Amino acid sequence: QDASDTQRVKQEYQSDVARLRKIVINSLYSNRDVFIRELISNANDALEKFRLTALTEKDLYDGVSPLNVTVQAVKNEDGVGGRIIITDTGIGMSAEELTSNLGILAKSGTSEFLANTDSLDTTSSGNLIGAFGVGFYSSFLVADKVTVTSIPPKSSKHPNPSQNVFSSSADEGTFEVYPDPRGNTLGHGTEVTLELKTDAKQYLVTSNLMKLINQHSVFSTSFPIYVWNEVEKEVPIEEEQEEIPQSDSETEDDGEEAVVEEEKVVEPVAPKTKKIMVSQWEHMNSQPPLWMRDPKTVTDEEYGLLYQATFKDFQKPLTWTHFTGDSGDGVSFRALIYVPSHLPNNFFEQTTETSTSDVKLFVKHVFITSDFGEYALPKWASWVKVIIDAEDLPLNVSRETLQSSAFLKQIKNLIIRRLLQLFGRIAKEESREIPRDHWIYNTVLKLGAADDSKNRERTAALTRYTTNQRNNTSFDDYISNKKQGQHQIFYLADMGKPAEHLAGSVFVEKLHARGYEIFLMNEPLDEVLIHGLESWKGIKFQDVAKAGLKFGDDSEEEVESTATLAEKFAPLLNWLKVQVGEHARDVVVSDRLVTSPCAVVADSFGLTANVQRLMSATSRGAKNDAMQEMMKKQKVLEINPRSPLIEGLLHRVEQLEADGTERDEDLAVELEEVAAILIDGALVRSGFEVTDSNLFLTRVDRVLRRSLGVSETAPTDTTVKPAPPVDPSLSEKILSYEEDAKTWDEFINDELEAQLEVEEINEQGNVVVGHDEL
Ligand SMILES: Nc1ncnc2c1ncn2[C@@H]1O[C@H](COP(=O)(O)OP(=O)(O)OP(=O)(O)O)[C@@H](O)[C@H]1O
């Protein structure tokens, strides 16, 4: 018995892997072409790993043997089925690695993939395979049985490498790994053999395979891919050599004088040929990569395919820019920047230190790194996909030295510059795909303006907002609409509120009525980026909910009249200062109100309601910070001198405080209540919370009773039916429920698998839909 047979022990797939494999097999049937792309991509990755390891382990690679991927379709002799063999001369896997990489390891993306399968639809799910790193399992879409033979190169990690085999069937939940009885046949690398399902015979046709490789792999792989192909060739027919007749001259060469014969014109006879079938390795990606070509010669479809294959996105890119550049240190390069049509799912949850795994740096078409270390793109730009291919680098490229060179920094700055140029250009062009209100301007660039101080101005220039007069307004648009004398840019920020509500705010009423434009900002980032910017083209931003608002066209008479009004309202102002207590540090006559009786305005060093909310949302621990508490108090109550309510209150207060008369205590109590409601109302109108909403509403109730002529003291019947006593059988019920209960994960797993299995597999676990058409 063969030694390997004794070691062929069946192992169970680890549960996550088993589930993943099942989902891939059962749900991605209509997308099964992806298997070839996934396996070639793994082979290419393995070659890249080999080359990178060889940079540090000098003995690993002789520099001569080929580094490539080969694909071969082999028909069975019985003519029924066949197999596809994909071989690479890459880093290979040891027995342990075969087991853990293909059978046990639930990779980091797996749980995310499994979570995403909830929203699985079969049109897009094929790309989920690659996006979440479940590529290898796509083999089972087309194969009944998959065999992976692999051997790592001799290295410090594997001083005595040996060749091993991983084998698994699509309909079993097990796999085996065992030493290859043939010994080392591969040198180093991996060979994946797919025993094709009977309904997957089309993949045995080499032209079909080549078409798929052309579509999905040639753009995105850096190592040569060869396909074993039968081609028709014309070869000369090897006819029996005719006896070349002895020339007369030879026969007559015996002393006779040479006779000059008349020269004969001999027609050249085309050699006879025949057509035969010849098998040979055909180089699929002999063309330079797409990004090295002249952009004029690349079609949109080709750009789209490269994007989808390289970055594993099932949606087409929104736009791209393809250009030649120079790093500034004399390193010339080609670059292709793609703007995806969507943000990653968890984009806003990610920390600011995001990785730039989607900036692929090549040197002379050879992939070098996606790790830009400290020169990673800032978060706002981290979702774009970039290919950079440098002609040559000024150093012997290794990841370590690259990190410390100026090159990565230059590349980072250049990508950002070009990206902003691209956004600027599409902002002007304004297309159906990227309209003026696209989230790029509303979300991504705002993040840039808020987070990335270095590019603040340039990103902010492209952001857009709603104003009280129009939508999608940039800062420059605003400036060109500025009124004479206006030296402030007016804005009101209240996150989460619809712009229409902001337009009706107490702070906006006069500005709006007078025809001034006001930015109505309702995203959390808006306030942050305005604070970062402070001004635009030399004009300061003015929060209209704060003190310091100036229209810029106040005449001397207006200033005088404000002073006169302050004098007129002095008794009310003084009385209100007592009533307002802690809510505001001062009470003044307002110049910003039209219809509202009063408002609470934050001092220039105070905090608006929006900033207070932002602070409590972001700095949980600092709630009791003394400085913050002090700033919260920096508020001023502004009263509208033209409001009849305020006029009326002034008269009543004058009446109350009139010299020489006895103080009317009933009136005092009533006025205090009116003042309390007015102040609380002003706080609410201005976006703040009232300190005690119960008290506020009790006061309102009292005023309502008064206006309805209902007794203020008449009690409400407060008798209620009490709840029944505690149910004595409750503890038993809880216990029996807990015994039956599944965990949430078990519940979701069962539900998901039940859904996926419907119509798609039979009892044996084989796919049963659509076989006949294929
Ligand atoms: N041809 C190969 N050579 C060496 N290792 C391989 C090969 N194919 C797969 N592997 C190993 O098996 C692991 C699992 O492969 P799988 O295709 O399932 O996911 P992945 O390659 O990590 O993710 P993705 O498909 O998104 O690139 C790989 O990470 C790699 O370590």
Condensed to tens digits (0 to 9), the pLDDT of residues 720-759 reads 999 988 877 766 666 565 555 566 666 656 655 655 444 4
Model pLDDT for residues 257-311, shown as the tens digit of each residue: 444 445 566 676 777 888 888 889 999 988 788 898 899 989 998 899 888 878 8
Alpha helices in 339-468 (DSSP H): 399-404, 406-429, 439, 445-451, 456-460
The best mutation among 136, 164, 313 to test binding of ligand 1, ranked by most ligand atoms within 8 Å of the C-beta, falls on: 136
**Low-confidence winner among 70-79, 81-90, 557-566 (lowest mean pLDDT):** 557-566
Phi/psi of residue 125, each to 5°? -70, -25
Q: How far apart are CA 623 and CA 154, in angstroms?
A: 60
| Position 93, amino acid | M
Q: How far apart are CA 111 and CA 109, in angstroms?
A: 6
Q: How far apart are CA 384 and CA 358, in angstroms?
A: 7
CA nearest ligand 1 atom 24, residue: 133
CA nearest ligand 1 atom 10, residue: 42
Across 132-146, 149-163, 227-241, 600-614, the highest mean pLDDT is recorded for 149-163
% of the chain at pLDDT higher than 90: 44
pLDDT the model gives residue 122: 44
Surface-to-core class of residue 335, CB atoms within 10 Å of its CB (0-12 exposed, 13-18 middle, 19+ buried): buried
**Is pLDDT above 80 for 576?**
yes
Alpha helices in 605-663 (DSSP H): 609-618, 626-632, 644-657
Ligand 1 center–CA 408 separation, angstroms: 28
pLDDT band at 124 (very low <50, low <70, confident <90, very high): very low
Instruction: Locate the ligand 1 atom nearest the alpha carbon of residue 49 and give its number.
Output: 4
Work out whether the CA dihedral 639, 642, 645, 646 comes out positive or negative.
positive
pLDDT band at 772 (very low <50, low <70, confident <90, very high): very low
**Number of Cβ within a 10 Å radius of residue 268:** 5
Q: Which two tokens stand for residue 439?
A: 């989230």
pLDDT band at 39 (very low <50, low <70, confident <90, very high): very high
Between 304 and 135, whose confidence is greater?
Answer: 304
Ligand 1 center–CA 152 separation, angstroms: 14
The best mutation among 42, 132, 191 to test binding of ligand 1, ranked by most ligand atoms within 8 Å of the C-beta, falls on: 42
Q: How far apart are CA 709 and CA 200, in angstroms?
A: 87
Ligand 1 center–CA 137 separation, angstroms: 10
Between 133 and 403, whose confidence is greater?
Answer: 403
pLDDT the model gives residue 351: 66
Ligand 1 center–CA 90 separation, angstroms: 12
Ligand 1 center–CA 189 separation, angstroms: 13
Ligand 1 center–CA 498 separation, angstroms: 48
**Number of Cβ within a 10 Å radius of residue 183:** 9
Instruction: Locate the ligand 1 atom nearest the alpha carbon of residue 42 and give its number.
Output: 8
pLDDT the model gives residue 58: 83
Assess contact for 597 and 643: CB atoms under 8 A.
yes
Assess contact for 599 and 678: CB atoms under 8 A.
no
Across the beta sheet with 10-12, the strand order is: 10-12, 174-179, 164-169, 143-151, 189-196, 82-88, 69-75, 225-236, 273-283
Phi/psi of residue 229, each to 5°? -130, 145
**Number of Cβ within a 10 Å radius of residue 751:** 12
Work out whether the CA dihedral 671, 676, 677, 683 comes out positive or negative.
positive
Model pLDDT for residues 583-596, shown as the tens digit of each residue: 899 999 999 999 99
143-151 and 164-169 strand pairing: antiparallel
Ligand 1 center–CA 162 separation, angstroms: 19
3-state helix, strand, coil in the chain (%, to 5): 45, 20, 40
Phi/psi of residue 48, each to 5°? -65, -40
Mean pLDDT, the chain, whole residue set: 83
Phi/psi of residue 645, each to 5°? -60, -45
Instruction: Locate the ligand 1 atom nearest the alpha carbon of residue 131 and give its number.
Output: 26
* HSE-CB for 390 with a 13 A CA cutoff: 24
User: In angstroms, what CA-CA distances link 364 with 291, 367, 372, 495?
Assistant: 11, 8, 18, 49
pLDDT the model gives residue 125: 46
Q: Which two tokens stand for residue 601?
A: 């305005």
Average pLDDT over residues 684-688: 92
pLDDT the model gives residue 236: 82
Model pLDDT for residues 549-559, shown as the tens digit of each residue: 999 888 888 88
pLDDT the model gives residue 556: 84
User: In angstroms, what CA-CA distances link 693 with 95, 418, 612, 634, 681?
Assistant: 69, 53, 18, 21, 11
**Low-confidence winner among 328-337, 442-451, 469-478, 665-674 (lowest mean pLDDT):** 328-337
Average pLDDT over residues 75-87: 91
Sorted by sequence, the CB contacts under 8 Å of residue 347 that are 6+ apart come out as 383
Model pLDDT for residues 409-425, shown as the tens digit of each residue: 888 999 999 999 999 99
Q: How far apart are CA 376 and CA 412, in angstroms?
A: 7
Ligand 1 center–CA 102 separation, angstroms: 8
pTM of the model: 0.66
CA nearest ligand 1 atom 7, residue: 42
Ligand 1 center–CA 66 separation, angstroms: 21
Ligand 1 center–CA 136 separation, angstroms: 6
Residues with CB under 6 A from ligand 1: 38, 41-43, 45-46, 88, 90-93, 101-102, 107, 130, 133-136, 190
Could you write out the DSSP letters of every residue in 8-63? Answer: --EEEPPHHHHHHHHHHHHH-GGGTTHHHHHHHHHHHHHHHHHHHHHHH-GGG--S
pLDDT the model gives residue 752: 57
Q: How far apart are CA 15 and CA 327, in angstroms?
A: 49
CA nearest ligand 1 atom 1, residue: 43
The best mutation among 45, 69, 190 to test binding of ligand 1, ranked by most ligand atoms within 8 Å of the C-beta, falls on: 45
CB burial string 618-644: b at 16+ within 10 A, e below: eeeeeeeeeeeeebbebbbbbbbbebe
Model pLDDT for residues 602-645, shown as the tens digit of each residue: 998 888 988 888 887 776 545 557 777 788 888 999 999 999 99
**Is pLDDT above 50 for 394?**
yes
Instruction: Compute CA 408 distance to the chain's CA centroid, rounded to the nearest angstrom.
Output: 22
Ligand 1 center–CA 566 separation, angstroms: 78
Phi/psi of residue 89, each to 5°? -105, 45
639 DSSP assignment: E
Ligand 1 center–CA 105 separation, angstroms: 11
Instruction: Locate the ligand 1 atom nearest the alpha carbon of residue 312 and give its number.
Output: 26
Between 647 and 666, whose confidence is greater?
Answer: 647
Q: How far apart are CA 85 and CA 72, in angstroms?
A: 5
CA nearest ligand 1 atom 11, residue: 101
Assess contact for 320 and 307: CB atoms under 8 A.
yes
pLDDT the model gives residue 773: 35
Q: How far apart are CA 748 and CA 16, in angstroms?
A: 13
Between 692 and 537, whose confidence is greater?
Answer: 537
293 DSSP assignment: S
**Low-confidence winner among 112-126, 644-658, 673-687 (lowest mean pLDDT):** 112-126
Average pLDDT over residues 507-527: 94
pLDDT band at 30 (very low <50, low <70, confident <90, very high): low
**Low-confidence winner among 26-30, 167-171, 507-511, 652-656 (lowest mean pLDDT):** 26-30
Instruction: Locate the ligand 1 atom nearest the alpha carbon of residue 90 and give its number.
Output: 3
Q: Give the closest residue to 608 by CA, choosing from 533, 497, 510.
A: 497
ipTM greater than cut 0.95: yes
CA nearest ligand 1 atom 27, residue: 133
Sorted by sequence, the CB contacts under 8 Å of residue 375 that are 6+ apart come out as 408, 409, 411, 412
Ligand 1 center–CA 135 separation, angstroms: 7
pLDDT the model gives residue 115: 61
Instruction: Locate the ligand 1 atom nearest the alpha carbon of residue 41 and give its number.
Output: 27
Instruction: Locate the ligand 1 atom nearest the alpha carbon of residue 88 and give its number.
Output: 1
